[in-house]
Amino acid sequence: MLGHTKKRHTESPMEARFIGSREKIGELKDYAKRIGLQDASDSLGIAEAFPAYGENPLGLALRGARHREGLTQRELAEATGIPQRHISEMEGGKRQIGRERAKKIADSLHVPDYRVFL
């Protein structure tokens, strides 16, 4: 019988904020750098770093799945019966995908859950 092994605890990064004079905050930042901490104010979120990707996540999911399968919009249109123009509009965020179309697209692109596109 296998025995239980100890699991190491993993620590997730933490963030701290301070209020004080510029001088004291500067000293804290210098100390933090010396001991190997990172200044969180220098970090960007994904939406800030890549603003174009946050505007149309459903279209991006559709385009990504289509590229993964190596299909053009025209080939996906032929496989699903959805006009190529509509696929282009869905990827561009100008047209809603809808449940029935999402099911057809998921089937053709081998995506297990059609709700990715909703």
DSSP per residue, 15-52: -----S-HHHHHHHHHHHHHTT---GGG---HHHH-HH
The verdict on domain 56-117 having CATH code 1.10.10.10 is: no
Q: Model-level pTM greater than 0.75?
A: no
* pLDDT bucket at 5, cuts 50 / 70 / 90: low
pLDDT tens, residue by residue, 34-46: 998 888 776 777 6
% of the chain surpassing 70 pLDDT? 86
Cβ atoms 92, 56 nearer than 8 A: yes
Cα 43 from chain centre:
17
**70 or 48, greater pLDDT:** 70
Say if residue 17's pLDDT is above 60: yes
What would the mean pLDDT of 23-49 be, rounded to a whole number? 83
Domain ranges of the chain: 19-44, 56-117
